[in-house]
Amino acid sequence: MLTGTAHLFIPGPTNVPADVQRAMIVPMQDHRAPEFGALLQPVLAGLKPVFGTREAQIALLPGSGTAAWEAAITNTLNAGDKVLMARHGQFSALWADMAQAMGLQVEIIDVAWGAPCPVREVERRLGADRHGEIRAVFVTHNETATGVTSDVGAVRHALDACFHDALLFVDGVSSIGSIPFEMDQWGVDMAVAGSQKGLMCPAGLGILAASPRALAAMENSHMPRSFLNLRAMLAAHEGGSFCFTPPAQLLHGLRAALTRLHSEGLENVFARHHRLAEGVRAGVAALGLSTVAEHRIFASDTVTAIRTPHGIDAREVISIARTRYNTHFGGGLGPLAGKAFRIGHLGDLNEGMCLTALGIAELSLKAAGAPVTLGAGITAAQHIFAGEAQAPALSI
């Protein structure tokens, strides 16, 4: 029998803080009553700084990040439109598959899983698009499968450098609320998030922020949509409600989670995520392991994907952690299955939790036959957390 606290070190859903959990224990309420707006409006207002926007309108879509992916496409584009996207991990691959399934003409730039969005190549393709056929560029800000963060601001520069007016769609599902996201400054037109990662809530809401340009594009978009009708949802939000029965408990939770984020201060939240990630990366390097991220410069502050040594099946490491130590790590996705496991370090997390993650990873790796020195990872992370060391270069 497993005893004690189950440790959740997957990159979402993340730990829901106790006060957020308590905030959701409320009686059912009338979502058509005028006072429902008093719950919804602070949530929408509290999300805006987290998305780095004053200009965008935000819609809460019952569903998850995937629903917001779909809504971004079907509310602004038309079948046959050309879109440009990099494929460098499971989530960028899935978004590309969805775009194809919705009838878009998807120009894909394939790069290594472990590399970020190749901005120079994006710029080259935009520059070559003499007739302005590319209607949107899709970027996965934080590729959760590989632990790689891409430079969205640089993609905006690429668009501007080519005087290209394609829309910029960004998946911020595992970045928004944990690392800086500057929707207005980066000229992002559609930003996608979900409730269950940096926002520390249960899954159940896809969150979509639409810029004025995206809202204008809605006028000329005629793709079939019904449940995920952004115009209808924004109009309902304006009136303080939803188009249909909303997950009210989740809104109470989100309001409490946003209060937490703003009380800590977004800058402090981002700094904490960076510090914790540096500790985890130092621990991984001290164990002699490589990350999937090919360079520390774009290693994610929310999730680290770790390659297991040759001959060690990452699935076994994950299974040992789960069955012996009541601890959950993320699996390797797609071609990384069996080759990598992931430590999620986002949301409501502190140093002690990261040390636990590294300690259990050491025990599980050793039990799976990997030649790791027990304590080496924890010690390296402690030196980072004590402010005594810089994170060493990652071995790749």
Residues across the chain: 396
Q: Which residue lies nearer to ligand PLP by CB, 164 or 197?
A: 197
Helix/strand/coil for 127: helix
> What are the angstrom distances between the C-alpha of 363 and each of 103, 287, 337, 357, 374?
47, 12, 20, 10, 7
12 binds ligand PLP (CB under 6 A): yes
115 binds ligand PLP (CB under 6 A): no
91 binds ligand PLP (CB under 6 A): yes
Q: Which residue lies nearer to ligand PLP by CB, 70 or 316?
A: 70
304 binds ligand PLP (CB under 6 A): no
Prior bond of 27 cis (ω within 30°): no
Whether residue 342 is annotated as binding a ligand: the answer is yes
64 binds ligand PLP (CB under 6 A): yes
Helix/strand/coil for 203: coil
Q: Which residue lies nearer to ligand PLP by CB, 172 or 240?
A: 172
Which segment (49-57, 138-146, 276-284, 383-391) binds ligand PLP by CB under 6 A? Answer: 138-146
Find all residues with CB under 8 Å of 335, minimum gap 6, and list them: 113
140 binds ligand PLP (CB under 6 A): yes
Find all residues with CB under 8 Å of 264, minimum gap 6, and list them: 272
Residue 242 in tokens: 């939803």
Residue 178 in tokens: 């944990």
298 binds ligand PLP (CB under 6 A): no
Q: Which residues of the chain form beta strands (DSSP E)?
A: 7-9, 57-62, 82-87, 105-110, 134-140, 142-143, 148-149, 167-171, 190-194, 205-210, 303-307, 327-331, 340-344
Decide: 190 and 71 in contact? Cβ < 8 Å: no
Which segment (59-67, 154-162, 218-226, 339-347) binds ligand PLP by CB under 6 A? Answer: 59-67
Contact pattern for ligand PLP over residues 195 through 234, marking x by CB under 6 A: --------x-------------------------------
Which of 84, 139, 173, 312 contacts ligand PLP by CB under 6 A?
173
**Min separation Cβ 142 and ligand PLP, Å:** 6
Cα R_g (the chain), whole angstroms: 21
Q: Which residue lies nearer to ligand PLP by CB, 241 or 302?
A: 302
105 binds ligand PLP (CB under 6 A): no
Neighbours of 333 (CB within 10 A): 20
Which of 194, 198, 344, 347 contacts ligand PLP by CB under 6 A?
194
Residue ranges of the annotated binding site are: 342
Going by the annotation, the residues of the binding site for substrate are 342
Q: Which residues bind ligand PLP (CB under 6 A)?
A: 12, 64-66, 91, 140, 142, 144, 171, 173-174, 194, 203
